[in-house]
Amino acid sequence: MSVSTDPTLRSGLRIAIVGATGAVGQVALQILADRKWPADRLVLMASARSAGKEIAYLGRKLKIVEGRADAFAGIDVAFISATTAVSRELAPVLARQGVLVIDDSGAFRMQADVPLVVPEVNGKDVLGHRGIISIPNCTTTPLVMVLAALRSLAPLRRVTVATYQAVSGTGAAAVRELDEQNAAIVEGRDTARSVYPHRIAYNLLPQVDRFLDDGYTAEEHKMTNETRKILHEPALPLSSTCVRVPVRISHSEAVHVELARPVDPAEARRVLASFPGIRVVDDPANSDYPMPDQAAGKDPVLVGRIRRDSSHPDGLVLWLSCDNLRKGAALNAMQILDEAVRLGALKPRAAVN
């Protein structure tokens, strides 16, 4: 019999996925199945609506349990991928019970005692956790990976981003809405909408999340604040325009970076290609560049169209695509657990209040 070389798999941990029926939860399950995570060390949770239903996993049927605080006996790690309200209610209670919470929501990301982690960029930050570790917003994760790579060449001066965000970033209901609207248009029927303020099929919406007083959206604020926290650069100037597009999976971003000196695109290509988790796809002569369709279902952040910014001598421009459900959510969460196992940081070093 072969012995697994995967330290997390060998750790004997029991994992609960809260939100197992959702867009991110389903991908988390696929990742665990690919790693052959044993079914008897996995508990699937969702709302009371789904309790009792079964989900196929590695040839077995696992029954869904309602994700209530009293359902976590014997659980070591909880991936919470449900709603912000569920995270707010469950995570602090579980952390006090000694469960390591890896949380996908925006509930705790900017809290000083909650590490916000992309392991390739700031993995060691997991050491400071007090029971809860957050993953970033799915647009922030690929951006900080690219910025961390470029920062190895020269300090960052200013970043401007336009995003092209897939509907699965809003959850499973938004994917159904896009599919239903597409079908209605093709069949000449009226479209219905409930998730977005306008039709998303055959359209795009320059609004992700709600508008704030300064004219930016909450999503755009998240990109600025989370990027600064992960890169440990609290004053980094960053402005974004976040746009929802009628794509099912994978967010793309047009990124303009100003550095402290002129950087040759070849240098940038070299550091990006050697950064863990990034794959450079950059052969414009053959129309080879990152596309959401190509990134979907894959782990790496794809980066291409790397060129000098014609509007600034110290500027670079590039384009990226990244599976928002994998590296943007479930994969990053799993990698945080791997990092905590690797660093011996499953339990908090400081007491949880």
Ligand X SMILES: NC(=O)c1ccc[n+]([C@@H]2O[C@H](COP(=O)([O-])OP(=O)(O)OC[C@H]3O[C@@H](n4cnc5c(N)ncnc54)[C@H](OP(=O)(O)O)[C@@H]3O)[C@@H](O)[C@H]2O)c1
- Least distance in Å: CB of 26 to ligand X? 8
The 97-126 contact track toward ligand X, x by CB under 6 A, reads: -------xx---------------------
- Which listed residue (8, 15, 16, 21) binds ligand X by CB under 6 A? 21
Between residues 185 and 291, which has the closer beta carbon with respect to ligand X?
Answer: 291
140 binds ligand X (CB under 6 A): no
Distance CA 184, CA 178 (A): 10
By CB under 6 A, what part of segment 42-81 binds ligand X? 45-47, 49-50, 67, 81
Q: Can you count the helices (H) and strands (E) in the chain?
A: 10, 14
Of the residues 129, 232, 242, 251, only one is catalytic, namely 251
Evaluate whether 113 touches 134 at the Cβ level (below 8 Å): no
Q: How many residues sit in the footprint of ligand X (CB under 6 A)? A: 31
* Residue among 138, 221, 232, 322 flagged as catalytic: 138
Tell whether residue 22 is a contact of ligand X (CB under 6 A). yes
28 contributes a contact to ligand X by CB under 6 A: no
Q: Which stretch binds ligand X (CB under 6 A): 40-48, 92-100, 122-130, 302-310?
A: 40-48
Asked whether position 148 contacts ligand X by CB under 6 A, the answer is no
292 interacts with ligand X by CB under 6 A = no
Least distance (Å) between residue 298 CB and ligand X: 15
Query: Which residues contact residue 287 at a Cβ distance below 8 angstroms, ignoring those fewer than 6 apart?
Result: none
| Spatial contact of 268 and 178, defined as CB atoms under 8 Å apart | no
> In a 10 Å sphere around its CB, with 0-12 CB exposed, 13-18 middle and 19+ buried, how is residue 1 labelled?
exposed
| Tokens at 37, concatenated | 């995570």
d(CA 16, CA 14): 7
Nearer to ligand X, 77 or 257 (CB): 77
Find, among 242, 249, 163, 160, the residue nearest to 207 by Cα: 242
CB of 62 vs ligand X, minimal distance in Å: 14
Distance CA 338, CA 277 (A): 15
322 noted as active-site residue: no
What is the distance, to the nearest Å, from the Cα of residue 204 to the centroid of all Cα atoms in its chain?
A: 21
Binding of ligand X by 277 (CB under 6 A): no
Residue of 115, 131, 171, 300 that binds ligand X (CB under 6 A): 171
Q: Are strands 251-259 and 156-165 parallel, antiparallel or unpaired?
A: antiparallel
- Is 251 known to be catalytic? yes
C-alpha distances (whole Å) from 281 to each of 163, 286, 310, 344 are 18, 11, 21, 36
Residues that bind ligand X (CB under 6 A): 18-25, 45-47, 49-50, 67, 81-84, 86, 104-105, 138, 168-169, 171-173, 324-325, 328-329
Residue numbers annotated as active site: 138, 251
